[in-house]
Amino acid sequence: MQEDHEIFDLVSAIEATEGKGTNFYSWLDIPSSASTSEISKAYRKKSLQLHPDKNKGVKNAHERFARLGVVAAILRNSEKRERYDFFVKNGVPKWRGTGYYYSRFRPGLGTVLTFLVILTSGLQYLVQKMNYNRDLKRVEQIRDQARAAAWGAKMTPLEGQRKVRLNLGGGPRMDEDGNVIGGRMVDMVVEGDNVYILEGDGGLWPVNSDTAVAPSIKKTWFLGLVTSLVQKVARRDGETIDDASAELEGKGEESDSGSGTGSDAPGSGTVSPKEGSGAKSGRAATMMAGGRRRKVVRKK
């Protein structure tokens, strides 16, 4: 309640300025059973002591004097005094409620947005971590199944490659025609402690912890968004620079062709090779020869 928040503020302020353990009654130098008239008399006496005119140059003199008036008003009001006496008897709670802290500190829009970004990014990273641990367990299960199929129940390692076929897609199911089919069957190769997935073209993909996607703060939504925006801006600036360079080169070529000089001029009998034509033809030959490396590793 608002009245409680006012009392909480006064209790904290009085203990900070008058000393820890000081309460409303001890500050006015009256007992907790004092009557309203006794409270008024104590207030007048204390106000003369704390009046700012008598405490010129004293730090926080105005604040203390104003605080004294609020304390006296609370003790003169029967309902507020009853509420204060409750906290004197039972103690002021350490946690004063979210409403109290929000009303006192009132975070701005920037603070709220920052908190939400940190919270959501942290939760997303936690989900990534959970998925990563789950994938690691799944990878290890597949490796154990492949080795068991290749080596037998005793799991005695055998030399050389062993080709096995595992069901990685669940149990049997019915297809559209009503036929019972197995799960997703995958051909695998076991060689020593290594396990590979055998692809249709004979390529082998290792099955290990690298298969699972490790969690990363950079993969959370906010940092991912910032990285994407930076890359787009950098790419756009690069394209602008390339366009400007191409335009300048075009103007230069026009000026060279109009001058009629050089070995390419009509009647010279010779043609100079264009700059960069050798590099382009070399790259084309490389591409035609299959210069790009394959990602898969072929095991023999």
pLDDT tens for each residue of 167-187: 877 666 666 676 666 667 889
pLDDT score for 26: 94
Rounded CA separation 118/115 (Å)? 5
Show the CA angle centred on residue 165, arms to residues 164 and 169, nearest 5°. 145
Show the CA angle centred on residue 208, arms to residues 202 and 214, nearest 5°. 125
Q: Strands 161-167 and 173-174: what pairing?
A: unpaired
Per-residue model confidence as pLDDT tens digits over 92-105: 766 556 555 555 55
Indicate the pTM of the whole model. Answer: 0.47
Q: What are phi and psi of 110, to 5 degrees?
A: -60, -40
Per-residue model confidence as pLDDT tens digits over 9-53: 899 899 999 998 899 999 999 999 999 999 999 999 999 999 999
Q: What are phi and psi of 207, to 5 degrees?
A: -110, 105
